């Protein structure tokens, strides 16, 4: 008996769908950062490049899981906008994870949002020491300000620098850096002046003139990377402080995205940070080779590595939960996670959810190729966060 055409078609369709592979699980990750404006070169672009380098180097996830990264631009420090973007990504775009965050105020603004929605969030940079504790779903692949400030204070004390001036940007991270420096420097010498400079400052000459008249042995500086650093280093040079032997110590002021533009005025500047592109290891060499394949004219800087490592953590959580929404399972997979990063050995402390890592004292030098680089001159080994 001849079957009706509709029955043949239905049977064929049933066979087709029963033999088809299950649909791929797509996990959405929202990334908030400065992808335009003055901060994009130091932070937003390196974030994206670090994530893409990791993906290209490591290949697809195990199983049938795909990741979709949704980038949202936050060009300036704007806590209200950061919170709105996080809510939009969670409610409208249905992301399972968040990442990025350059500034402490922006990260703090989203803490209650991710806590109530149970969204694991990887902080790529924001370094305020209290951030991670504000939500059970925060973890960090950068550093805290005390973590990188304490080593430079100890290093200055070891070098017999007795009269010091601190000069920091006048916002909460600047205050955190100043407090951490004073606490670690302790009775090793005297902080003869503490100067706070408005974030909007473009002319640092008056501040440097005042510091020069104080005749300190050294200067501890904390400024946001980018235009503020350019202006301060230029004023430091123009006011003759380098020539007079007043040493410059900072944190991220000489990161690689800015270094060549700073020029020879940067030679000899000393900083304390978690990564130098000149770090000697096979993992760093392999990472940079993978980076150059994608971005032959790009510049690796610490923000690139923060996002690269952050992507490792995100993918570990996604694989551990098989792409399903399981915030607590994802966080469990991240706690205690250890790996070899381009910066050196790292581990997410299970209790604090902070990264345990080396901190390097670096000095800007000029290579035989004429390019400036951050030479590692002392390593402070990793310690767990309190």
- Of the two residues 360 and 259, the one the predictor is more confident about is 360
Give the Cα separation of 143 and 128 in Å (integer).
9
- Which DSSP string do the residues of 218-280 spell out, in sequence order? EEEEE--TTHHHHHHHHHHHHTTTTTTT-EEEESSTT-HHHHHHHGGGGTT-EEEES--TT--
pLDDT at residue 196, as a whole number: 97
Q: What's the whole-number mean pLDDT along residues 13-29?
A: 60
Three-state DSSP at 59 gives coil
CA distance 81 to 364: 36
Tokens of 273: 């940070």
Do residues 195 and 210 make contact, with C-beta atoms less than 8 angstroms apart? Answer: yes
> Residue 383: what pLDDT?
62
Q: Please report the pLDDT score of residue 23 as a whole number.
A: 56
Burial of 369: CB neighbours in 10 Å, binned 0-12, 13-18, 19+: exposed
Predicted TM-score of the model (pTM): 0.89
Q: How far apart are CA 259 and CA 180, in angstroms?
A: 26
Whether 274 shows a pLDDT value over 90: the answer reads yes
User: Which element (helix H / strand E) includes 194?
Assistant: strand 190-197
- Is residue 312 a contact partner of residue 330, using CB atoms and an 8 Å limit? no
Cβ 184 vs Cβ 150: under 8 Å: yes
Q: What one-character-per-residue DSSP string does 68-119 give?
A: EEEEEE--S--HHHHHHHHHHHHHTS--SEEEE--SHHHHHHHHHHHHHHT-
> What fold, for 25-143+281-353?
Rossmann fold (3.40.50)
Q: Where are the domains of the chain?
A: 25-143+281-353, 146-273+361-380
Give pLDDT tens digits for 49-101: 999 999 999 999 988 899 999 999 999 999 999 999 999 999 999 999 999 99
Quote the percentage of the chain above a pLDDT of 70.
93
On the question of a common fold for 25-143+281-353 and 146-273+361-380, the answer reads yes
SS3 of 306, please? helix
Contacts 24+ apart (CB under 8 A), 128-137: 128/104, 128/172, 128/173, 128/176, 129/176, 131/104, 131/107, 132/352, 132/353, 132/354, 134/108, 135/111, 136/331, 137/327, 137/331
Q: Say which range, 105-119, 166-180, 252-266, 286-300, has the weakest mean pLDDT.
A: 252-266
> According to the model, what pLDDT value does residue 82 have?
99
Overall CATH class of domain 146-273+361-380? alpha beta
Residues in the chain: 386
């Amino acid at each position: 008996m001849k079957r009706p055409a509709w029955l043949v078609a239905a049977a064929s369709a049933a066979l087709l769908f029963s033999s088809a592979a299950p649909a791929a699980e797509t996990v959405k990750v929202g990334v908030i950062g400065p992808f335009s404006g003055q901060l994009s070169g130091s932070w937003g672009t390196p974030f994206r490049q670090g994530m893409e380098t990791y993906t290209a180097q490591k290949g697809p996830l195990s199983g049938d899981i795909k990741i979709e990264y949704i980038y949202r631009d936050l060009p300036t420090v704007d806590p209200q906008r950061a919170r709105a973007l996080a809510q939009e990504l969670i409610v409208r775009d249905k992301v399972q994870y968040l990442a990025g965050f350059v500034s402490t105020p922006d990260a703090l603004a989203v803490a209650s949002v991710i806590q109530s929605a149970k969204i694991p969030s990887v902080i790529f940079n924001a370094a305020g020491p209290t951030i991670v504790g504000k939500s059970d779903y925060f973890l960090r692949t950068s550093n805290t300000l005390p973590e990188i400030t304490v080593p430079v204070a100890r290093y200055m004390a070891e070098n017999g620098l007795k009269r010091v001036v601190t000069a920091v940007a006048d916002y909460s991270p600047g205050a955190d850096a100043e407090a951490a420096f004073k606490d670690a420097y302790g009775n090793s010498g005297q902080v003869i002046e503490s100067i706070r400079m408005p974030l909007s400052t473009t002319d640092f000459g008056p501040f440097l003139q005042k510091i020069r008249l104080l005749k300190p042995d050294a200067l501890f500086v904390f400024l946001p990377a980018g235009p503020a650093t350019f202006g301060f280093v230029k004023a430091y040079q123009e006011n003759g402080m380098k020539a007079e032997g007043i040493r410059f110590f900072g944190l991220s002021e000489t990161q690689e995205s800015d270094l060549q533009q700073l020029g020879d005025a940067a030679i000899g500047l000393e900083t304390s940070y978690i990564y130098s592109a000149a770090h000697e290891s096979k993992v760093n060499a392999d990472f940079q080779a993978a980076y150059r394949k994608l971005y032959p004219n790009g510049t690796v800087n610490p923000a690139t590595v923060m996002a690269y490592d952050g992507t490792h953590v995100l993918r570990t959580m996604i694989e551990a939960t098989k792409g399903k929404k399981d915030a607590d399972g994802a966080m469990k997979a991240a706690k205690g996670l250890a790996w070899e990063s381009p910066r050196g050995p790292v581990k997410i402390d299970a209790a604090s959810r902070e990264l345990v890592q080396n901190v390097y004292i670096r000095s800007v030098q000029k290579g035989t190729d004429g390019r400036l680089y951050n030479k590692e001159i002392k390593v402070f080994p990793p310690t767990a966060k309190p």
